[in-house]
Amino acid sequence: MTTIANIFAAIGIFFGSLFGSSPSPVAEVPTPTPIVASSSNTSVADSITKTVPQGYHIGTSTIWFLDRDKPLPGVDLSTFTAFPGGQVQFGVDTTQAYCGGSVVAGADPATFVAIIGVEDHTAYATGYAKDKNHVYAGCDGIIPSADPATFVVLDNYVQDGGYVKDATHVWFSRAPGASMATDPWGFSADLVVGADPATFESDFTGSHDGIDKNHSYLEGKTVQ
């Protein structure tokens, strides 16, 4: 038996030298390492269990927005909901409302909703939110005097620049622009002085982008 084994071994050596060295073993695939985030605000490193399209990362004991080094303050995981988002993202739980990674000051969580537009049967984020008391422009906070019951968005993707109004005011929403470096989740809502809310509408024909019964407007300013 030993002689037969030696013969087969010799045959293996012969063919190995004839056709090249034996193939290298397949490399072992390492086990994926879970994504873990830690923070000075949490005592235990928390593994991410889910990431939603709105930019929120849901962990086993907290939630982060984008950068996973700062959890949402006081968030309730069991009731947190993220609204469809774009440039500005909103979320809410039973005790607080959130814009990006910050708490929306003064918001009523029971009635807080992101204002969502619909175009061609597709929902999109306008960058505005409201509750029973206020209207919020991105993360910049409350729009003074805006009426949530009659507030409407006139332009698709208004966060890129466009008009909004309620029963008594018209505003031009200006994109963040240069402020992106310091306030990437906010944008301004500037009052359009003299506009008539009842007849005001967006109109991109000619040299203006808004019109009412009295005037034409361009980026919130009267041009005619």
What is the percent of the chain where pLDDT is above 90?
A: 28
User: Rounded CA gap, 30 and 1, in Å?
Assistant: 41
For residue 120, the model assigns a pLDDT of: 62
In 3-state terms, what secondary structure has residue 16? Answer: helix
Is 102 a residue whose pLDDT tops 80? yes
Q: Is 153 exposed, middle or buried (0-12, 13-18, 19+ CB in 10 A)?
A: buried
Mean of all residue pLDDT scores within the chain: 73
Tell whether the model's pLDDT for residue 167 goes beyond 90: yes
Q: Give the span between the Cα atoms of 10 and 90, in whole angstroms.
A: 73
> Per-residue pLDDT averaged across 8-36, rounded?
38
Could you report the per-residue pLDDT of 52-69, keeping only the tens digit for each? Answer: 656 888 888 888 887 666
What pLDDT sits at residue 111?
97
Q: Is 196 left (phi over 0), alpha (psi -120 to 50) or beta?
A: beta
